[in-house]
Structure 1
Amino acid sequence: MDKAEPFLSVTGHSMRMDWVAILAIMALSNSLAGPATDQLPAMLDGFDQVRSLAFETGRADAFELVYPEASPLLMDDQELLASYIRRGVDIERMRMTVLEVDVVRATARHATMRVTDQLTEARIRLSDGTVRDLPRDQPTRRTLELTLTAKGWRISAVRQR
């Protein structure tokens, strides 16, 4: 895919089957006036899938579907991806697994969750062609805040616990 094309372009072979689920979740996240607490884990999974595909495809603009415009979180993920690209590291596969979600609070415009997740799969290709599976992370506990923006629900804060 030409890196200048919009991230969700469906020209050529740019669309993956994963996008069907992701687009459904993102549509749900954008249409909810206030999320039902049982929908928040699916929304979180959708955000994780978008992040994974952004890293796998090298498309920094995809992070705009996850974070609010100009947020530090958006800039952090975009810079992390740029650093991999500068070093000639391609992320071939990245999977986060959500192990536990506890909804602390949910209103019409804001939700707070305690999340335990884990990087369960990561494979990279180095500039010399070497492919490496990276070790699995230990489970990480975080508090996530989601905020309803003009473009839909976005992850607005992440704090390690």
Structure 2
Amino acid sequence: MDWLWVLLVAVRVLSPSPDDRWAVHLAALDDVREQAFASADASLLRDVYVEASAARRADARLIAAYARRGGRVVGAELRVLDCRVVREGRHRVRLEVVDQLGPARARWDDGTSTALPRDRPTRRAVTLVRAPGQDARWRIAGTRPAQDAG
């Protein structure tokens, strides 16, 4: 039966922790967000945020502002440096996340690009909710500085 303990340890080591699982969800949502910025297509944000999200509106405004000036943002990848589950329910989860924006650039219609200011690691409270209906995917309902999260 010694092999059973080896198997149990291997499964535990190879299985993602709940925190890692949520970091993977955040990374998948951020991939779509990054595509929205790179393609200047704010409609893609519907798969990232709930409809009434302030963050969705802010991202859409920023995408539109760059597009009006003939640009789009590339490399706007949020790197999750740390992720911890604060509260988890069946349809809602609250995370404490430390993330940092990658080296983003504004790419202009004339072929030039401009490096955007570098970001520092930021600690946030992120709330995800499971979307109702057939797709039942997780979306970002809100973010705020972690010190405001109780």
Report the counterpart of residue 50 of structure 2 in structure 1. 68
Work out whether residues 37 and 106 of structure 1, in 8 Å CA contact, stay in contact via their aligned partners in 2.
Answer: no
Unaligned runs of 5+ in 1: 1-35
Identical pairs, percent: 38
Deviates more, 1:127-136 or 1:52-61: 127-136
**1:152, 1:44 → 2: CA distance?**
12
1:87-106 → structure 2 map (5 Å cutoff): 87-106=69-88
TM-score (norm 1): 0.71
Unaligned runs of 5+ in 2: 1-17
Report the counterpart of residue 157 of structure 1 in structure 2. 142
Instruction: Considering fraction of residues, name the structure with more helix.
Output: 2
Once the two structures are superposed, residues 37-94 of structure 1 have per-residue CA deviations (whole angstroms, 9 ceiling, x without a partner) of 4421100011111111110011111100011123322222111111111122222322
**1:63, 1:114 → 2: CA distance?**
22
Report the counterpart of residue 63 of structure 2 in structure 1. 81
Distance 1:115 1:37, change over 3 A: closer
1:19-58 → structure 2 map (5 Å cutoff): 36-58=18-40
**Residue among 113, 117, 121 paired with 1:135:** 117
Residue 120 of structure 2 aligns to a residue whose secondary structure is coil
The structural deviation recorded for 1:134 is 2.4
1:114-133 → structure 2 map (5 Å cutoff): 114-133=96-115
The structural deviation recorded for 1:128 is 4.3
Work out whether residues 47 and 139 of structure 2, in 8 Å CA contact, stay in contact via their aligned partners in 1.
Answer: yes
Work out whether residues 53 and 142 of structure 2, in 8 Å CA contact, stay in contact via their aligned partners in 1.
Answer: no
Work out whether residues 96 and 121 of structure 1, in 8 Å CA contact, stay in contact via their aligned partners in 2.
Answer: no
**2:53, 2:98 → 1: CA distance?**
23
Work out whether residues 91 and 129 of structure 2, in 8 Å CA contact, stay in contact via their aligned partners in 1.
Answer: yes
Deviates more, 1:103-112 or 1:36-45: 36-45
**1:148, 1:90 → 2: CA distance?**
30
Question: Size of the alignment, in residue pairs?
Answer: 126
Higher Cα radius of gyration: 2
